[in-house]
A and B are shown apart, each in its own frame.
Chain A
Amino acid sequence: MKRNTFITTAILLGGLSAGAPAFAAEGDVEFSLRALGTLTRDLKAGVFNATEPRSSTFQLVSVGGRNLGKTGLFGEAGGYMAQELSQSTLAPLQRGDLTYGHLGWEDRGRHVRVQAGRLFVFTGAAGYAFLDGGSATLRLPGDVRLDAYGGTAAFQGFAEGFKAPIYGARAAWNPWEYGHFGLSFQSVSDVVDLAHRNVGLDFALRAMGPVKLTGAYVHDLLGGRTQEARVDAAYAVTKFLDVYLKGEVRDPLARLPKTSIFLAFVQRTDGAVGGGFDLRTPGALSVRGGYDRVLVGDGQSDGYRGFVDVRLRVDPAGRHVAGVELARLSNGDNGYGQCRLYGRVKPADRWTLSADVDGYVFAKEIRGEKTSLVGTLAARWEAKAGLLVGVDGQVWSNPYFTNQALGIVSVTLDEKLFYARGAAPAGVRGAK
């Protein structure tokens, strides 16, 4: 089965890739192919003589196009094929999958949009869907928008081997430049029983001038209770400084299907309040940070998380970046402090070098270890426009793996065939 999937995906993606340039003269087409080879080796504590290395190759392809043939047709597809080169891995030797892939059509006035295939549907608070099926959007007068979708879940954790039926809809009113109200519904089944059935409300609006409010509320129709409520207020203090506050109430079991016996063990409500800032100076410096207080229903696991990320852009064109990120998290039982140092430079026109060192100190020992470290070096060489060659190395020392080294060699071909390179496409509508 996995081998068949591999071959099917190879044929499908190969065909799409070969066909993509044919549409380029009429629409906007993008095509990307990435080939990677990885080598992973576990290293016993401090000694480079460890177990058998594992190696794999991956090919990731994505292709997308808009207004193909000036017909309003559009489509996107992305997927991968993997070949394990070593026998020591538990993964199948060959595997592949279509990550997403759909075709659609939109009229010139953008009143109607339909699409079918494997697609994401992020619309409304009731829930997002990753499905094999279709969706439709209808824009009505009065800035009203209707969305509907249905199909079977492309991935649904609680329904292994079964394509869980999923459908939903959203009605929204978008009266302002920044502002909308949406009412949504989603239903998911697990074999024969309903697993989720939610209604949701989402909104975004400007209040008191520059304050932007966004929020969502989800009600669990099967459980008859609030599944999630959240609100986020962002305020642009100046052109260079944004601050935000957020609050959230959630049912920790919300994502469990209503068929799970684990629902019978616990009933509680968690919450979180927090805030943060984002400072971007006109010069080289930018700083962002945030703090959340997490309130767990039993009161014993209340915790917090906070971080600050200081970043310097160290050349006139902003091509070189160096940063320090500090974070602290505690959940009442364990926690960690983090110090991360990273940078990205372009020492020459076609070269990019990156370094990242991420260190942790745990509040309590994990498997006898109190620290862990991950170090990464990456180099990219732009052989020509759209063709990137990369070499990455990562070493990782933590309480679980003891030590591990990873190497990745990659070639990325990224082709963007935009109609007339930025020119207005024929027939594009004027200002409305």
Chain B
Amino acid sequence: MSMTLCHLTSNPMKHLLFLFAALALGAVPGCGWLVGSWAGAPTLEERQDGIILSHAKHTAEGIGCEDCHKTIKASETIQGARELPKKATCIECHDGKEKQCGFCHKDEKKGGTYVDLRMDGIRFSHKNHIERKLPGTDKAGCEVCHASTMQSTKPSESHRPDMFVTCMQCHKRSFRREDCVLCHANLTESKQLPLSMFDHGGDWLNRHGTPAKGGQAVCAHCHKTSFCADCHTRAKVPLRAELLNLDRPDRRFRHRGDWISKHPIEARMDGKSCLTCHDKKSCGDCHDRMGIGHKGVAGTQKSPHPAGWLTRGSGAFHGTEARRDVLVCAACHDRGAASNCVTCHRVGGPGGNPHPATPKTDLDKNTSPACVPCHK
């Protein structure tokens, strides 16, 4: 950035931008620090406000799950605290006369309630599960899914059933069939994403194409069609996805920031990927709009081509550049038989033979649509 600062003197607008940057970036961590702490996301133990129940102690006393979770057998949805014992249930044993509130409440004078355990978007019926046997065994009941909870001495996130360990005991086939909707009503917003299986780390934006070739059904469970359409509908979207998501600086996009300046640099690295979404028309339209279209004369501000573009040996000769990256040429000039290359490079034309030293052998010059315009 120090280099950037050196160049500010030539452009007062950039001073303004840097002032804006400094204010904005100061505000972000500042607000964050004021509102919260820097400690990171708290665990369930940290969030829960006072209840320190030991399942292990209750189990050892011979108290069954349904003695406290009285409604669980009939429960058809996960509604968080609704399935947890009410105070009246605890008082059946803990009458409070011997200050037993302290068994469970950290501050017995001001006992807190349960932490919010709701899992929005998860479809789960305890009623449908609780009496089923684990396939191939005689195991049934709460311990099939909640074995570690029954041994726990305090609430912990780690005691929640893990999808890949617990649910997969029975639901392997559902998973393989991408039948996530069976349990996940809304994976697009769920916090219970199976990230360990579908991690999107590192340079995922450039990597996602490979796993996506295995089929869109897996992607579609978390990503709505509109999410994919933001980038993959080519000319059918009115605004770039980046402009529709200016409030999401944490998301990664292909054309974020100064893509106008970046795109000719990045296109040289992988021009093929540009053509995944863009055609020559989209290039031409924009270049014309910006006044750098084909109507400009090489070497002027109205042309994307430098001076000497048509002069062999000039150092900027178009033939040399075309050998390096002909896709850049094709982006604007590929119009089949009407391509302006044909004007000079036809057989007998002034442009001479444009073929590389190792000519393509897989095209028939007499019949191939790529060859006929010049060889007719």
- Chain A residues lying within 8 Å of B172, measured Cβ to Cβ, are 177
Does B37 count as interface, using CB distance less than 8 angstroms? yes
Bitwise, A138-165 to B at CB < 8 A (1) or not (0) is 0100010101000000111110100000
Could you tell me the distance between the alpha carbons of A259 and B335 in the complex, rounded to whole angstroms? 10
- Asked if residues B42 and A316 are in contact (CB atoms below 8 Å), the reply is yes
Does B355 count as interface, using CB distance less than 8 angstroms? yes
- Chain B residues lying within 8 Å of A239, measured Cβ to Cβ, are 196
Could you tell me the distance between the alpha carbons of A47 and B250 in the complex, rounded to whole angstroms? 31
Does A224 count as interface, using CB distance less than 8 angstroms? yes
Contact of B246 among A177, A262, A305, A354 (CB under 8 A): A354
Contact of B370 among A155, A261, A294, A298 (CB under 8 A): A261
Could you tell me the distance between the alpha carbons of A260 and B249 in the complex, rounded to whole angstroms? 39
Q: How far does the Cβ of B295 sit from chain A's closest Cβ, in whole Å?
A: 14
Bitwise, B159-184 to A at CB < 8 A (1) or not (0) is 00000000010111111110101100
- Mark the stretch among B87-95, B100-108, B266-274 that contacts chain A: B266-274
With contacts A66-B181, A261-B342 taken as known, whether A375 is within 8 angstroms of B370 at the C-beta atoms is no
- Chain A residues lying within 8 Å of B329, measured Cβ to Cβ, are 262, 265
- Asked if residues A355 and B24 are in contact (CB atoms below 8 Å), the reply is yes
A-B contact pairs, 13 of them (CB 8 A): A34-B244, A38-B243, A99-B236, A124-B215, A139-B177, A193-B369, A202-B213, A255-B272, A256-B327, A313-B41, A341-B21, A343-B249, A398-B260
Does A14 count as interface, using CB distance less than 8 angstroms? no
With contacts A252-B271, A341-B21, A372-B258 taken as known, whether A424 is within 8 angstroms of B76 at the C-beta atoms is yes
- Chain B residues lying within 8 Å of A313, measured Cβ to Cβ, are 40-41
- Asked if residues B279 and A158 are in contact (CB atoms below 8 Å), the reply is yes
Residue in A closest to B182 when the chains form the complex, CB atoms: A428
- Mark the stretch among B56-64, B116-124, B146-154 that contacts chain A: B116-124
Q: How far does the Cβ of A285 sit from chain B's closest Cβ, in whole Å?
A: 7
- Asked if residues A344 and B326 are in contact (CB atoms below 8 Å), the reply is no
- Asked if residues A376 and B249 are in contact (CB atoms below 8 Å), the reply is yes
- Chain A residues lying within 8 Å of B237, measured Cβ to Cβ, are 80, 99
Tell me which residues from 170 to 215 in chain A have a Cβ below 8 Å from any Cβ of chain B. 170, 172, 174, 176-178, 180, 182, 190, 193, 200, 202-204, 214-215
- Chain A residues lying within 8 Å of B232, measured Cβ to Cβ, are 120, 128, 130
Does A277 count as interface, using CB distance less than 8 angstroms? yes
Bitwise, B213-247 to A at CB < 8 A (1) or not (0) is 11110010000111011001111111100011011
- Asked if residues B185 and A422 are in contact (CB atoms below 8 Å), the reply is yes
With contacts A314-B29, A358-B257 taken as known, whether A344 is within 8 angstroms of B250 at the C-beta atoms is yes
- Asked if residues B20 and A422 are in contact (CB atoms below 8 Å), the reply is no
Does B280 count as interface, using CB distance less than 8 angstroms? yes
- Asked if residues A265 and B201 are in contact (CB atoms below 8 Å), the reply is no
Does A347 count as interface, using CB distance less than 8 angstroms? yes
- Asked if residues B216 and A357 are in contact (CB atoms below 8 Å), the reply is no
Does A46 count as interface, using CB distance less than 8 angstroms? yes
- Chain B residues lying within 8 Å of A373, measured Cβ to Cβ, are 4, 14, 17-18, 21, 258
- Asked if residues A428 and B207 are in contact (CB atoms below 8 Å), the reply is no
- Asked if residues B275 and A320 are in contact (CB atoms below 8 Å), the reply is no
Does A21 count as interface, using CB distance less than 8 angstroms? no
- Asked if residues B36 and A317 are in contact (CB atoms below 8 Å), the reply is yes
Does A371 count as interface, using CB distance less than 8 angstroms? yes
Interface residues of B (CB under 8 A from A): 1, 3-4, 7, 11-14, 16-18, 20-21, 24-25, 27-29, 31-33, 35-42, 46-47, 76-78, 120-125, 128, 132, 168, 170-177, 179, 181-182, 185-186, 189, 196-197, 199, 201-203, 206-207, 210-216, 219, 224-226, 228-229, 232-239, 243-244, 246-250, 256-258, 260-262, 264-266, 268-272, 275-276, 278-282, 285, 288-290, 292, 301, 322-327, 329-330, 333-334, 336-337, 339, 341-342, 354-356, 358-360, 362-363, 368-371, 373-374
Could you tell me the distance between the alpha carbons of A277 and B27 in the complex, rounded to whole angstroms? 29
- Asked if residues B4 and A361 are in contact (CB atoms below 8 Å), the reply is yes
Could you tell me the distance between the alpha carbons of A381 and B337 in the complex, rounded to whole angstroms? 54
- Chain B residues lying within 8 Å of A303, measured Cβ to Cβ, are 268-269
Q: How far does the Cβ of B276 sit from chain A's closest Cβ, in whole Å?
A: 7
Residue in A closest to B268 when the chains form the complex, CB atoms: A331
Contact of A347 among B21, B31, B78 (CB under 8 A): B31
- Asked if residues B325 and A301 are in contact (CB atoms below 8 Å), the reply is yes
- Asked if residues B272 and A252 are in contact (CB atoms below 8 Å), the reply is yes
- Asked if residues B41 and A317 are in contact (CB atoms below 8 Å), the reply is yes
Could you tell me the distance between the alpha carbons of A230 and B70 in the complex, rounded to whole angstroms? 55
Could you tell me the distance between the alpha carbons of A256 and B333 in the complex, rounded to whole angstroms? 12
- Asked if residues A375 and B24 are in contact (CB atoms below 8 Å), the reply is yes
- Asked if residues B76 and A343 are in contact (CB atoms below 8 Å), the reply is no
- Asked if residues A422 and B121 are in contact (CB atoms below 8 Å), the reply is yes
With contacts A78-B229, A120-B225, A408-B246 taken as known, whether A285 is within 8 angstroms of B216 at the C-beta atoms is no
Does A28 count as interface, using CB distance less than 8 angstroms? yes
- Chain A residues lying within 8 Å of B32, measured Cβ to Cβ, are 312, 314-315, 320, 322, 343, 345
- Asked if residues B323 and A266 are in contact (CB atoms below 8 Å), the reply is yes
- Chain A residues lying within 8 Å of B342, measured Cβ to Cβ, are 261
- Asked if residues B174 and A45 are in contact (CB atoms below 8 Å), the reply is no
- Chain A residues lying within 8 Å of B324, measured Cβ to Cβ, are 296, 298, 300-301
Which has the most chain B C-beta neighbours within 10 Å: A139, A264, A277, A316?
Answer: A264
Does A219 count as interface, using CB distance less than 8 angstroms? no
